[in-house]
Structure 1
């Protein structure tokens, strides 16, 4: 005889599992000294696909390791979480494996794209990731009190926006990672200033189909407050972490003036950002030599090391 217990409510049947206790993916070994957990679920936003992250972890450690969170680009519209761009796709081992071999844990997350949700969903996702990394740090061997955000293009914008708003979101809360540094590569930082920074007539603030408009949910001219809120320069304050900003002087998609705007705002707030303008560099580091591209990566690694050392940068 079969007896049935209480029938759960429909909401209980549909409730997703808790990412804080989900099992990790089966590990892979993509390079010597590296363990890769591909596609771990870190959040399940209501009405959206699960948010996932790749974790590149060093296998030979003496204790918890510092964390680098890499945020991919793609105009907030597309992109792959483990793609640093065309100049790095031939690297063997790849850039994230190299960082793990040098003692960093690297987290490469998905986030909701602008076709799925508008700002601030993307930074909400990154905030959820930082909290998840902290929650599971003991299992993964992470020191989330030493966390650097790094992104390229639109991912650099999201990394900067997250770094500058993280303290305001969390205050002195202990349930999340501590952002100790931020690196941006050719990132937009002031959406309202793009029209001024590009050649006259090249950008229309009234265009509802621009990538920036799709991010904020409407033409920038019609949504000025949303555009300001989505601009990292708006959020610079005394709690900003150290910044390294790299940008090519010949960038035809995101003018180098965008990185200079953020550097100026940080300087006016009393910080000392490291702004490097690379002569002849275009978007995605097109126009640079192989050696110059490697130098961008090495500068990023050195900066991350300094920001995660005892005492910080």
Structure 2
């Protein structure tokens, strides 16, 4: 790879608006401080379940510890059946944080056998987006997978590594509560789109990293998964100048040190025992360049870990929501997950 990724501000904003994320990318110069602020001691009483617009600007930098907050007893709405083969349970609270209650939606196969799980993280440039039904969830459930579509804290709520810890917490919660929902806790994958692909990949290749652990949250429950699926994700923040990107600065903090950017880059953590990956990316992506995926694929190959790259020739950043590209990529995704989760 040569030169910094071409993450244009215009392209980023266009993609976020198309995804329904109405936040701005402006950051406050006060985020340059290296002080480590502490969280409020108690979470908000009325958490927002759709914090995607009119959010405050980032005011916090990376921290190394968090207050122990966990939701041990699942809180759910009444399940609904959306198809003969699928049960949908929405807004399950899985973690209390000082900023808000984090929730997930479960899409479950109607089967008497326990199902392998896929934890999915949405996109939105780390500053927008939310959980929400995607057509591919239906297909995955039809193939026998349970899908957990999760929320995580956005950069304006709390910066890196908060969102990473939230994804770790989601995996732990799914495993800790697997029996209640007919999920096989020993067979699981992480998946995500755009910023969510970054978070999924980082947790997949560094599940036990000390700075990514949510304190006292099911400490005995493992995080490592069996497979990773990443759509259009940014995986390398070590290149010169990338920290100046407004979204990267919002997520990591303005003027983030090189060590923080390296720690938050999946390419920095790939080792020989990491789970196999399927990486999907369009060649005409003007938000996250295609070479971001080739960088992670190269790291996988150098470590001797199986990786498949599915290239959308001419596809842009929103290929996951394009009907034609979705129909072209889903069979490969289903086969990849079946190979690594259903044949165990």
Find the counterpart in structure 2 of residue 38 from structure 1: 90
Of residues 185, 191, 212, the one that matches 2:248 is: 212
Of residues 273, 293, 296, the one that matches 2:326 is: 293
Of residues 121, 124, 144, the one that matches 1:103 is: 144
Of residues 103, 108, 111, the one that matches 1:57 is: 108
Change (3 A) 1:249 1:18: closer
Instruction: Give a deviation string over 1:187-239, Cα, whole Å, max 9, x none.
Output: 1000123x6xxxxxxxx5463x71011111123xx421111111100111122
Instruction: Give a deviation string over 1:238-283, Cα, whole Å, max 9, x none.
Output: 2210000111111111111000000111111111211122211111
Q: Is the 8 A contact 1:69 1:149 kept in 2?
A: yes
Find the aligned partners of 2:320 and 2:96 in 1 and give their Cα distance: 36
Find the counterpart in structure 2 of residue 113 from structure 1: 154
**1:62 partner SS:** coil
Find the counterpart in structure 2 of residue 4 from structure 1: none
Find the aligned partners of 2:188 and 2:136 in 1 and give their Cα distance: 18
Of residues 308, 323, 326, the one that matches 1:274 is: 308
**1:82 partner SS:** coil
**Unpaired segments of 5 or more residues in structure 2?**
1-40, 46-66, 214-218
Q: Is the 8 A contact 1:146 1:178 kept in 2?
A: no
Q: TM-score, normalised by structure 1?
A: 0.81
Following TM superposition, the consecutive aligned residue runs of length 4 or more in structure 1 with deviations greater than 3 angstroms are 14-18, 167-170, 204-207
Find the aligned partners of 1:229 and 1:177 in 2 and give their Cα distance: 18
Count how many residue pairs are aligned between Structure 1 and Structure 2. Answer: 274
Instruction: Give a deviation string over 1:37-74, Cα, whole Å, max 9, x none.
Output: 101011102x2101100000112x13210001111000
**1:69 partner SS:** strand
Find the counterpart in structure 2 of residue 200 from structure 1: none
Instruction: Kindly state the Cα deviation for residue 33 of structure 1 after the two structures are TM-superposed.
Output: 2.0
Q: Is the 8 A contact 1:147 1:177 kept in 2?
A: no
Q: Is the 8 A contact 1:26 1:37 kept in 2?
A: yes
Of residues 265, 275, 280, the one that matches 1:231 is: 265
Mapping 1:1-313, distance limit 5 Å: 19-45=71-97, 47-59=98-110, 61-82=111-132, 84=134, 94-168=135-209, 175-193=221-239, 204-205=241-242, 207=244, 210-219=246-255, 222-285=256-319, 290-311=323-344
CA-based RMSD of the aligned residues comes to 2.5
Change (3 A) 1:176 1:62: same
Largest Rg, 1 or 2? 1
